[in-house]
Structure 1
Amino acid sequence: MRVRTETTDPLATRPLDAPERLGVLHATVPDMSVPDQDFDGIVEIAAGLFDAPIALVTLIDREWQWFKAAIGTVETRASSQDSFCVHLAAAGEEADAGLVVLNAALDPRFMNRPMVAGPPYLRFYAGSPIVIDGQTVGTVCVLDVEPRDGVAGPLVQQLRRLADLAASLFKLKDEARRRALKEAALSREEQRHAMALEAANIGSWLWDIRSGTIAGNSAMKRMFGLPAAASVGAREIFGAISVEDRGATFSKLRQAMKADEEYDGMFRIGDTGRWLLGRGRVHERDAKGNPLTFIGVTIDVTDQQTSVQRTRLLLKELNHRVKNTLAMLQSLARQTLRQTSDPAEFMTAFAGRLQAISEAHGLLSDHEWGTIRLADLIAKQLLPHVNCYAEQIEIHKDEISLGPDQAVGLGLVLHELATNAVKYGSLSVPKGKVVLTARKMLEDGDQVLHLTWTEVGGPPVREPKRRGFGSILIERSLDKVLGSSVKVEYLAAGVTALIRLPL
C-alpha cells in the first residue's frame, strides 16, 4: 500500500478554518472538548497494533486539537497549528491514504514543531483521517518518541478502519443526541398540551377498542366521577353516562365509526347530572378497515346548558307575561275610553297607566323575571309624581320581595293612588306628603304584606259621589293575586289605602 510522504505544506492552499469543514465538525460533535469513554476502545486497539506509547482520537477545530480519547498523555488538547494531524485536516481527499512520519526530527515539515524540538521529543507519527459528510474533522493517530524504519501496509489499513469506526461512532452519537433532543422537545410539547387541556378543563382520551381500555387525562376522569389514578375501561365510562342518554350516545359513536365521521354528542353524567360535550373520531383502523383506536375530547358544558334552559324558561315566562299584559292593556284602554270622550284626556290617563306597567316590567326584566324589591317598585312608581322624593315620600318598611304578578298589580295601584294624590290629595300642595308603611306579617303560616298608604298635609278630602275607573282599577289591579285586597278610605285628613298582598 502506498503511504503519503509529502514534502509540500498543504496548509498553504487548504486553510484550516474552511467553513464547510468547521460546519460539519460543530454540527456533529458540539461537545468536542469533552473526553468520551466510548472511544477508549479505539485508542487501545490502535496503540496495541503499533506498539506505540501514545494513541489519540482527535477532533481538529480552528485553534485547538481536542482529544476525545487518549492513551499515554493526560492532556486533553493541543495547538492545531503545531500538530501532525493538521496536515490531514487540510489535505482534503488526499488525506484518505493517511499520513506516516517515520522520524519527525529529520522531516522539514515537523522538525521545528515544539513537541518535536522539545519535550516529549516526538519522532514517529501515523494517522488516518476521521471523515464525516466528506469533511475531515479529526484523526485516529499513534505517536512514539522513537523513530521507525518503516510501517507495514496492513497496519495503516487497520488504522484506516479504526478511523472509519470512529467516524461511524460520531455519527451514531450525533443521531442519538438529535433524537433525544427531538424526544425531549416532543415531551415538552406534550406536557404543554396536557397542561393547557387541564387549565382549560378539557378532558382528552384515547379508546383502545380491542382491549376496551380508555387512557384519559385527570380532567376527563374528574368529569366522569372516576378516581384520577385508576385505569379506566369503556364499560365504566359508558356506565357513568345517564341512562336516558346512554343509548343515544353509543349509537352516535357507532355511526361515527362506521361512516368515518366525527362524533359530536352531548350527554349527562348519571351521578352528578352535569352536561358533557364529547367530540372525536377513529384514529387507527386495521387492514380490513375495522376501527382500532378512537381519540377525542370532552368538555363540561353544564353552565352553558343551564343558561340555555334558563333562557328558555325566561322566554316562556316572557311570552306568558306579554299575553297577560296585552290583555291588561286592552282592558285598560276600553275602561279608560269609557270614562272620557276627550282624546287628550284619554291619552294622558292611558299613557300614565301604560308607563306604570312598563316600569314594573322593566324592573322584572332586569331581574330576569324573578323577584324585585318593594322599595325599588315604590321609587319607580312615585318618583314621576313628586318634586322631592325624600321630603314628599316617607317610607317605613321591612325588606320585602315581590313576584311578577304582585309587582305589576301593585305598581298599577301605586300609580293610581299617586295620580289621585297629585290631582286632589296631599301631593297637590307643596307641603303635602305620603307616608307608606309596609310590614311582613305571618298569617296561618303564610307571609303576607300589609301596606298602608297615608296622605298627610294635603287639602281636606271628601269621598267622591261617583266611583271612577281609577277607583275600580285600584280595587281590581291585584285580582291575579289570590287573597289580596285593597281598601281605600277617604278620611278628612287625607286618603288612606290598606293593601293586603300574600307573598
Structure 2
Amino acid sequence: MKDNAQPLPTGVAAVLGAPERLAALQAAMPVFLGPDPDFDDIAGLAAGLADTPMAFVTILGQTDQWFLARRGTPEIRFPSQETFCARMLAEKGAPPLMVADASRDPRFSSLPSVSGEAHVRFYAGAPIVMDGQPIGTVAVADRKARTAAADTLLPQLARLASLAGVLIRQKEEARRRMLAAEVLSRDEKRHALALDAANVASWMWDLSTGIVSGNETFHRMLGFRSTRPMSARTFFGAVHPADRKTTIDRLRNALATGKEYDGLFRASKSGRWLLGRGRVHEWDAEGKPTLFLGINVDVTDGQLASERTRLLLRELNHRVKNTLAMLQSLARQTLRQTSDPVEFMDAFAGRLQSLSEAHGLLSDHEWGVIHLKMLLQKQIMPYALDYESQVEIHKDEVELGPDEAVGLGLVLHELATNARKYGALSVATGKVVITARIVNEEGRRVLNMTWHEVGGPPVNPNGRRGFGSVLIERSLDKILGSSVHVEYLPKGVTAVVRMPL
C-alpha cells in the first residue's frame, strides 16, 4: 500500500504536524489503547445514516490514523498521508467533507484506498474537534460511487463527531481520576504504614457531627480496645483530668485562630504522656471550621526522664556550692589510700574546680545566662601556653543557661586538660580551633560546636579510654537532645557537641 503512496501535499503535512493540534490530541488522548467498544455505536449510527458498508471513528496522528471503532475493515491503523480524513482536515476550517466518486476527483484518485483493493469511491466525514483543533474524524465510505446523497448526512455526521469528542473527553477525565485515585490510595496506604511503623497516632475530628475517628495507634494510646469512632465528649474524657482544661483551651484556640494546636497531656486510662499536634483542615462557606486533623506521639519515656532531670538539677543547684567543700574533703581522705593520690587528686580537684568556675560565672549573673566566650576563656586559659595564639574561636553570639553552662564547662575542662597533657596545648606550635554555630531545627535553637586540635603530637587512636573520655561524652546527658562525640584522629582530637538551647 505504501509503495503506491503519493507525496503528501504541503497543506496536509502542515495540518498533521501543527504543534497546537498535536498538543490538543495529546491532551485528549495521551495513549491509544486500541479499538474501544464504547465508540462502536457511533460508527454503527454513522453507517446506518449513510447506508454504507464502512464507517469509522478515528484519531489522526502526525504519521498514523488510529481506529477507535470501525465497520467494514479489519484495520486498526492506517498511514495518515494515505487517508481522506487528513485531506479533509487540511481544508480551511476543516469542514465536513463529501466525495461522490473519488476515482474522478484528482485530490483523492491516487490514494491507495481508491486505486488499490479497497476500491473506495464514496466518502463522507466530519472532524472531531477538541480545544478548537481537529484531532480525528467520524466518517463513512462505500465501494460504489454516488451521484447524490441526503443533504442531512454531513450535519448528522458532524453531530456524531461532536458526540465522539464529548465521549473522548469524558473517558480521558475518567482515566485521570482513576489514576489519581490509585495514586491517592497508594499514598494513603504508605502514609498509614509509615505512621504505624513510627508509632504515631492520627485522628480526625468532624466538627459538624462531633465524631472523632483515628487509627489503631490512636485508640491504643488512649487506652481504648475498640477502634470505632467516638464522640468528642468521649475523646476529651480520655484526657487526664489534670490536663483536660489546658488541652481543651488549646484546641479551642486552634479552632478560633486557625493556628496549629500543640499540647502535652496524659491519657486517663493508659497513663501515657502524649504530645499532640494538629490544625483545622477544612472550613465551611461561612469560615467556620468543619474538620480538624491531628496526630499524637507517645513521649512518656522522655517526659519522665525530663521530670527526673529537672528535679535533680533543681536539687543540684541548691546544694552543689555547699557540697563542693565536702566533696573535696572526702576526696582527699579517699585518695590517701590510693597508690598515686597526688595524680588522682589533681585530676579530681580540677573537675571540681571546673564546676566551681561555671557556678561562679552563673552566680555573678544571678543564675540567668552567661556568654559562651566567657566560659571558653575560663575553662581553657589555665591550660594553654599562650591562649591568644593557641586558641582560635569562630562563633555566633551564644548565651547559655545554668544547666548548659555546667555541662559544657565539664566537657571543655576535660578537653583542655587532655590537650595540655597529650595534645595540641602541650606544645607551643599546637592550636585548638573552636567553631560554635547556632542552627534552627524546627523552630528550636541548637548549638553545634566543634573542638579540633592541630599541630600537636600524633594521637594514638587505639589508646585506652579513660574516665576523662567517658566524662566528656556523658557530661551533657542531663540536657535532653544533646550529645558529645569524640574522635581520636592521628592528627589531633576532634569533638563534636550538639546541645539544644
Fold shared per TM-score above 0.5: yes
Residues 58, 65 of structure 2: 8 Å contact kept: yes
Query: Which residue is 1:44 aligned to?
Result: 44
Moved more, 58-67 or 171-180: 171-180
Displacement after TM superposition at 1:353 (Å): 9.9
Q: Secondary structure at the match of 1:27?
A: helix
Write out aligned runs for 1:282-431 (5 A). 282-286=280-284, 290-319=288-317, 322=320, 325-326=323-324, 328=326
Displacement after TM superposition at 1:76 (Å): 1.3
Displacement after TM superposition at 1:123 (Å): 1.3
Write out aligned runs for 1:435-474 (5 A). none
Displacement after TM superposition at 1:39 (Å): 1.1
* Identity within the alignment, %: 50
Q: Secondary structure at the match of 1:120?
A: coil
Write out aligned runs for 1:204-223 (5 A). 204-223=202-221
Q: Secondary structure at the match of 2:81?
A: coil
Deviations 1:425-470 (A, max 9, x none): xxxxxxxxxxxxxxxxxxxxxxxxxxxxxxxxxxxxxxxxxxxxxx
Supply the distance in 2 between the matched residues of 1:70 and 1:356 (Cα, whole angstroms): 96
Residues 328, 349 of structure 2: 8 Å contact kept: no
Displacement after TM superposition at 1:181 (Å): 3.1
1:264 and 2:262 aligned? yes
Query: Which residue is 1:395 aligned to?
Result: none
Displacement after TM superposition at 1:331 (Å): 7.4
Supply the distance in 1 between the matched residues of 2:347 and 2:105 (Cα, whole angstroms): 117
Query: Which residue is 2:56 aligned to?
Result: 56
Supply the distance in 2 between the matched residues of 1:317 and 1:354 (Cα, whole angstroms): 26
Query: Which residue is 1:140 aligned to?
Result: 138
Residues 10, 91 of structure 1: 8 Å contact kept: no
Deviations 1:103-145 (A, max 9, x none): 1222223333332223232211111111222222111111111
One of 165, 168, 178 as aligned partner of 2:166? 168
Displacement after TM superposition at 1:87 (Å): 0.5
Residue ranges of structure 1 left out of the alignment (5+ in a row): 1-8, 337-349, 363-503
Query: Which residue is 1:28 aligned to?
Result: 28
Moved more, 55-64 or 226-235: 226-235
Displacement after TM superposition at 1:26 (Å): 2.7
Supply the distance in 1 between the matched residues of 2:267 and 2:228 (Cα, whole angstroms): 18
Query: Which residue is 1:440 aligned to?
Result: none
Supply the distance in 2 between the matched residues of 1:329 and 1:104 (Cα, whole angstroms): 114
**1:212 maps to amino acid:** G
Displacement after TM superposition at 1:284 (Å): 4.0
Supply the distance in 2 between the matched residues of 1:186 and 1:84 (Cα, whole angstroms): 44
**2:181 maps to amino acid:** E
Residues 276, 300 of structure 1: 8 Å contact kept: yes
Residues 92, 136 of structure 1: 8 Å contact kept: no
The alignment of Structure 1 onto Structure 2 pairs a total of residues equal to 340
Query: Which residue is 2:82 aligned to?
Result: 82
Deviations 1:345-366 (A, max 9, x none): xxxxx9899669759989xxxx
Moved more, 37-46 or 272-281: 272-281
**1:46 maps to amino acid:** A
Structure 1's 11 and 171: CA in aligned 2 closer, same or farther, altered over 3 A?
farther
Supply the distance in 2 between the matched residues of 1:12 and 1:356 (Cα, whole angstroms): 96
Structure 1's 246 and 108: CA in aligned 2 closer, same or farther, altered over 3 A?
same
Q: Secondary structure at the match of 1:152?
A: coil
Give the greater-gyration-radius structure (CA): 1
Supply the distance in 2 between the matched residues of 1:217 and 1:151 (Cα, whole angstroms): 68
Moved more, 235-244 or 132-141: 235-244
Supply the distance in 1 between the matched residues of 2:287 and 2:179 (Cα, whole angstroms): 35
Query: Which residue is 1:72 aligned to?
Result: 72
TM-score computed with the length of structure 2 as normaliser? 0.60
Q: Secondary structure at the match of 2:173?
A: helix
**2:111 maps to amino acid:** R
Residues 204, 216 of structure 1: 8 Å contact kept: yes
Structure 1's 124 and 241: CA in aligned 2 closer, same or farther, altered over 3 A?
same
Structure 1's 291 and 140: CA in aligned 2 closer, same or farther, altered over 3 A?
closer
Residues 206, 293 of structure 1: 8 Å contact kept: yes
Supply the distance in 2 between the matched residues of 1:310 and 1:238 (Cα, whole angstroms): 28
Supply the distance in 2 between the matched residues of 1:267 and 1:203 (Cα, whole angstroms): 14
Supply the distance in 2 between the matched residues of 1:291 and 1:26 (Cα, whole angstroms): 41
**1:12 maps to amino acid:** T
Supply the distance in 2 between the matched residues of 1:283 and 1:253 (Cα, whole angstroms): 13
Supply the distance in 2 between the matched residues of 1:358 and 1:320 (Cα, whole angstroms): 21
Residues 123, 139 of structure 2: 8 Å contact kept: yes
Structure 1's 353 and 122: CA in aligned 2 closer, same or farther, altered over 3 A?
closer
Structure 1's 331 and 26: CA in aligned 2 closer, same or farther, altered over 3 A?
closer
Residues 122, 145 of structure 2: 8 Å contact kept: yes
Query: Which residue is 1:198 aligned to?
Result: 196
Deviations 1:303-349 (A, max 9, x none): 2212211212332453466255245269789x99xxxxxxxxxxxxx
Displacement after TM superposition at 1:67 (Å): 0.8
